[in-house]
Amino acid sequence: MSDMVENKRAQHKVWLTVALSIFTVAWGGNEFTPLLVFYRGEGFFSDLFIDMLLVFYAIGVAVGLLAAGPLSDRYGRRAVMLPAPLLAMLGSTLIATGEEMAPLIGLGRVFSGIAVGMVMTAGGAWIKELATPRFEPGVKPSAGAKRASMSLTGGFALGPAVAGVMAQWLPLPGQLAYIVHIVLTLVLLPLLFTAPETRQSAHLKTKGSFWADVLVPSALSPRFLFVVAPVGPWVFGAAFTAYAILPTLLRDMVAAPIAYSALIALITLGTGFGIQQFGPQIMGTSKTRGPILAMVATVVGMVGAVIVSLHPHPWWALLVCMFLGLSYGLCMFIGLAETQNIAPPVDMAGLTGIFYCLAYSGMVFPAIMTWLNQWLSYPIMLGFGAAMATLCLLIVSFSTRKV
């Protein structure tokens, strides 16, 4: 009897092995963020190039998302997930050795992004499929989206928090954080081999070509186009407004700018992680409440960012980051949950990849603002962002009732 109980407990927690790999890859992908301040201080690269590193990362994420989704739908989750932590380690190695070399650090960011894209699609679909009665009797339908979003957010939050503290006060500020990530990955990677494959038709492959798989039919669903698509870009649009733009505006007002940047990332993503705990309760059975609340938080956060840009203050910025964190957390969970409800099994990873592409499009905001800052002030640009968030709120408020 005791053996049966232990087996059931182990079966219930099988998703955790996948979640830990997602966590470590997300850690490696986002630990770079507070080091943006470090690289600016070193003076090896221009401000525009440093912000472009976010774009390189976003390009890598897009490649990982768009390729890994159809590949994992076709060949299985494990086949795509296993290489992802290795690519993340390669990315960390290149960035650590490329502190003064633009090609190495740029290539490292691309590899980090590809790895994150792979775990977001294949890993998210894997966790979703493990959160079914076959593997976990009595599991709630929303458990998959909650676990996937929390795994990502936990890594996104702790990675930069640890990296910022290390870079501010410990030796080897350009290398130590990446070494820690590599060690963490090596410790947790073997656990991934214990997770069962959930894509049961994988050994039969999928009929049709790979390029036919890329064209995910469910992406044309009206609810995806008019509810999920307006919410998606604000996942990282809000997050990177908080921990890429605001630290730049405030770096001359704090004594420890790298650690302050890490604190902003921790507060933003920690708030996002916290609100995701209540994601299923917020959505409930309502078609409207979740998406509308996500966009309301976004509007409040973006208006707050405008105020901080006009009247910079480190403590007020932390409060604004809490609202931007609420936006990140709600947009991530609501968008992912809606996507998983819309997608049929054959499109699960593919449509998840498209949602995450929309989410990561928000990462280009800092680079665009740095470039436009030659002609426009940050209050004007952030004000435009607040106006766009308001427009998205209006679209979602109308559409979520109709589709």
Residues of the chain below pLDDT 50: 1-10, 202-204
Q: How far from 324 is each of 127, 156, 296, CA to CA, in Å? A: 26, 15, 11
As to burial, measured by CB atoms within 10 angstroms (0-12 exposed, 13-18 middle, 19+ buried), residue 10 is exposed
Q: How far is residue 275's CA from residue 283's CA, in Å, rounded to a whole number?
A: 12
43 Rama sector, left if φ>0, alpha if ψ -120 to 50, beta otherwise: left
pLDDT at 200: 59
Are the C-beta atoms of 33 and 244 separated by less than 8 Å? yes
Angle of helix 348-360 relative to helix 47-75, nearest 10 degrees, comes to 170
pLDDT at 46: 85
Q: Does domain 7-197+208-402 bear CATH number 1.20.1250.20?
A: yes
Are the C-beta atoms of 335 and 232 separated by less than 8 Å? yes
User: Can you give the residue ranges of every domain in the chain?
Assistant: 7-197+208-402
pLDDT at 202: 44
pLDDT at 204: 46
Taking the model in full, what pTM does it have?
Answer: 0.80
